[in-house]
């Protein structure tokens, strides 16, 4: 009898212990439950206890929801993401770095990044909605630079997330009495720049007349800009006049330089505070030039290609060059020769100006070059267009096959476009390209198009191009795309 009582008591203790274990399982996070079973050497799919099966079922559902989470990037689906369990954040199906790379490719697509920001806290951080700011004169003065400074000073976290600043001197209406000169003479850029501790890109843009560096920007603002130059990795100037090239000596971290319609100070005064270490020159990787032959281009090329220049272009990976005269040829070739060992991508805009044999560009000693981008405008002259297309062959190509990205802008209708492509087919087929992508910009000038919004028109135009598909061979080696026009609101 005593033995039976002890046996009954032991059974009740085991039942109480099982109930206690069930309560503990109900309080545990599902990820912790899965980890417990895995550490014990048990498979999550071979668990017999009911609490564990429930926990493991929820755990697997969470993983499936995370796997299909990228489908919820639209604002409507983004609200559904609130239903996703928070425990997924600690152990996602894919690494956060992968999502950061994908969303980082949407830098110029603000609408999509806004949708991504609604998915989760981590997606919000990856989207960096407020990483780019633009400041400039306004009509109503409701959102002036003083209020921007107050916002940045009152929210250090917001200010820390700003990586790019665009200073625009555009005047928005004819009634605006605030001129670009008075704005940049009176605005306190130093107050704004002092709180942007993560700033790595600075863009100064003006519409219309040149913005004189010395006469239209106050001394205080010039000094404030000079203070942040060592932290910049990208400098973008458009419409700036009398710019002293010695200023670039301060940009020790500069990797990308964009100069659009800029002219330079012909008699820059040397700065005694800048000591250039020839062993640590600025390692420029991307250079984009749209300069005029008679107002800045020769001076800049002579400066940057000189051995005494603080900027080293021998490690340049990408070069974009807009041609405005056949006399650009020797200057472009000089830049190419200085970067031949490292250049991977070359973009020549308005290349038909190099039609003659003496304007041939020599690329045969470019071992790492893999992409050639060419842009040209075609008109209603069939003979003239043929010679423009023939300019594509005016290169001495390297031994390796290249990828060609050809942009064709034309005001012609589609039936004429088909004739242009038939002509291009005969020109391109003998050339050493492994892939060819043709982007059509129809019935408008290129700047009125968004090259990111493309549609595939391969099936429409490939019948008039029998040679290229046969020569390239593999499927997808030839692509024909059409660029969609921007909305009117986006052109302002």
Confidence of residue 269 (pLDDT cuts 50, 70, 90): low
- Angle, nearest 10°, between helix axes 414-428 and 382-390? 40
Element (DSSP H or E) covering residue 406: strand 402-410
Q: How far apart are CA 131 and CA 232, in angstroms?
A: 15
The DSSP bridge partners found for residue 102 are: none
Tell me if 358 sits within 8 A of 326, measured CB to CB.
no
> What secondary structure letter does DSSP report for 342?
T
Q: pLDDT (tens digit, 9 = 90+) per residue, 97-156?
A: 888 888 888 877 778 888 888 888 888 888 888 888 888 765 455 567 788 888 899 989
Amino acid 41: pLDDT? 37
Long-range contacts formed by 75-81: CB under 8 A, 24+ apart: 75/114, 75/115, 75/118, 78/115, 78/118, 78/119, 79/118, 81/118, 81/119, 81/120
Query: Binning pLDDT at 50, 70 and 90, where does residue 354 land?
Result: confident
- In what helix (H) or strand (E) does residue 481 lie, and over which residues does it extend? strand 478-485
What gap in Å lies between CA 456 and CA 462, rounded to an integer? 11
How far apart CA 191 and CA 193 sit, in angstroms, is 6
3-state secondary structure of 49: coil
Which DSSP helix (H) or strand (E) runs through 153? Answer: helix 145-154
DSSP-derived secondary structure letter, 336: H
Element (H, E) at 311: strand 311-312
pLDDT at 88 over 70: no
The count of other CB atoms within 10 Å of the CB of residue 215 is: 11
What integer pLDDT is reported at residue 279 of this predicted model?
55
Q: What is the largest CA-CA distance in the chain?
A: 115
pTM of the model: 0.75
CB neighbour list of residue 344: distance below 8 Å, 6 or more residues apart: 317, 318, 368, 369, 370, 371
**pLDDT tens digit sequence for 225-254:** 999 999 999 999 999 999 999 999 999 999
**Taking 50 as the threshold, does the pLDDT of residue 194 lie above it?**
yes
Per DSSP, the three-state class of 361 is strand
**What gap in Å lies between CA 490 and CA 265, rounded to an integer?**
34
Residue 486: pLDDT band (50, 70, 90) is low
Burial of 371 (0-12, 13-18, 19+ CB in 10 A): middle
So what's the pLDDT on residue 225?
Answer: 94
Give the mean model confidence (pLDDT) for residues 363-371.
96
The 3-state DSSP class for residue 307 equals coil
Question: What would the two tokens of residue 457 be?
Answer: 């028109």
- Name the residue with higher pLDDT: 14 or 481: 481
* Cα atoms found within 13 Å of the Cα of residue 374, Cβ hemisphere only: 26
Structure tokens at 398: 């390297």
Asked if pLDDT for residue 195 goes beyond 90, the answer is yes
Instruction: Specify the DSSP class assigned to residue 367.
Output: T
Among 355, 316, 351, 359, which Cα is nearest to 335's? 316
E strands of 146-291, at which residues? 164-168, 201-205, 211-212, 234-238, 240-241, 256-260, 282-283, 286-290
Q: How confident is the model at residue 53 (pLDDT cuts 50, 70, 90)?
A: very low
Residue 331 in this model has a pLDDT that exceeds 80: yes
Cβ proximity of 465 and 421 under 8 Å: yes
What letter does residue 222 receive in the DSSP assignment?
H
Query: pLDDT-based confidence at 63, cuts 50/70/90?
Result: low
**CB of 417 closer than 8 Å to CB of 440:** yes
H helix runs in 354-478, sequence order = 382-390, 414-428, 458-461, 467-472
C-alpha separations of 251 from 131, 228, 232, 451, 469 in Å: 21, 9, 6, 30, 46
pLDDT at 23: 36
With 70 as the cut, is the pLDDT of residue 422 above it? yes
Quick check: helix, strand or coil at residue 132?
strand
Is the distance from CB of 467 to CB of 435 less than 8 angstroms? no
> Under 8 Å CB-to-CB from 313, ≥6 apart: which residues?
284, 287, 304, 305, 335, 338, 339
pLDDT at 199 over 90: yes
Taking the C-alpha atoms of residue 84 and residue 120, their distance in angstroms, rounded to an integer, is 9
The rounded distance, in Å, linking the Cα atoms of 188 and 272 is 26
> What are the C-alpha distances in Å from 172 to residues 35, 120, 329?
60, 37, 38
């Amino acid at each position: 009898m005593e033995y039976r009582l002890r046996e009954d008591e032991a059974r009740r203790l085991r039942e109480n212990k099982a109930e206690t274990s069930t309560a503990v399982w109900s309080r545990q996070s599902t990820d912790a439950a899965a980890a417990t079973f895995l550490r014990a050497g048990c498979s999550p799919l071979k668990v017999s206890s009911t609490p564990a099966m429930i926990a493991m079922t929820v755990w697997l559902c969470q993983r499936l929801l995370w796997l299909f989470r990228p489908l919820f990037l639209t604002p409507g689906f983004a609200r559904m993401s609130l239903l996703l369990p928070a425990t997924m954040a600690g152990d996602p199906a894919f690494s956060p770095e992968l999502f950061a790379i994908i969303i980082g490719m949407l830098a110029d697509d603000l609408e999509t990044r806004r949708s991504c920001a609604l998915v989760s806290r981590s997606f919000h951080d990856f989207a960096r909605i407020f990483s780019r700011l633009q400041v400039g004169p306004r009509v109503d003065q409701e959102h002036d630079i003083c209020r921007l400074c107050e916002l940045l000073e009152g929210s250090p976290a917001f200010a820390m997330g700003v990586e790019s600043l665009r200073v625009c001197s555009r005047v928005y209406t004819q009634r605006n009495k605030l001129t670009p000169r008075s704005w940049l003479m009176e605005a306190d850029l130093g107050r704004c720049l002092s709180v942007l501790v993560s700033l790595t890109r600075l863009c100064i843009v003006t519409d219309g007349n040149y913005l004189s560096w010395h006469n239209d920007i106050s001394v205080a603002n010039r000094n404030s800009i000079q203070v942040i130059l060592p932290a910049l990795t990208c400098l973008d100037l458009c419409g700036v006049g009398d710019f002293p090239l010695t200023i670039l000596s301060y940009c020790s971290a500069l990797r990308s330089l964009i100069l659009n319609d800029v002219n330079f100070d012909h008699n820059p005064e040397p700065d005694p505070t800048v000591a250039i270490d020839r062993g640590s020159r600025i390692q420029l990787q991307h250079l984009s030039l749209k300069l005029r032959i008679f107002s800045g281009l020769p001076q800049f090329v002579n400066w940057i290609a000189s051995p005494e220049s603080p900027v080293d272009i021998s490690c340049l990976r990408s070069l974009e060059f807009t041609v405005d005269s056949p006399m650009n040829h020797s200057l472009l070739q000089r830049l190419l020769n200085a970067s031949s060992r490292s250049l991977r991508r070359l973009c020549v805009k308005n290349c038909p100006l190099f039609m003659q044999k003496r304007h041939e560009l020599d690329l045969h000693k470019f071992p790492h070059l893999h992409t050639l981008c060419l842009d040209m405008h075609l008109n209603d002259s069939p003979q003239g267009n043929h010679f423009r297309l023939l300019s594509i062959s005016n290169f001495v190509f390297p031994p390796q096959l290249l990828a060609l990205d050809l942009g064709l802008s034309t005001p012609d209708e589609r039936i004429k476009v088909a004739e242009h492509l038939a002509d291009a087919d005969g020109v391109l087929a003998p050339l050493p390209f492994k892939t060819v992508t043709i982007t059509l910009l129809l019935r408008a000038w290129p700047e009125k198009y968004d090259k990111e919004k493309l549609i595939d028109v391969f099936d429409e135009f490939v019948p008039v191009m029998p040679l290229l598909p046969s020569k390239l061979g593999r499927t997808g080696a030839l692509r024909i795309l059409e660029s969609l026009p921007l909305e009117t609101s986006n052109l302002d």
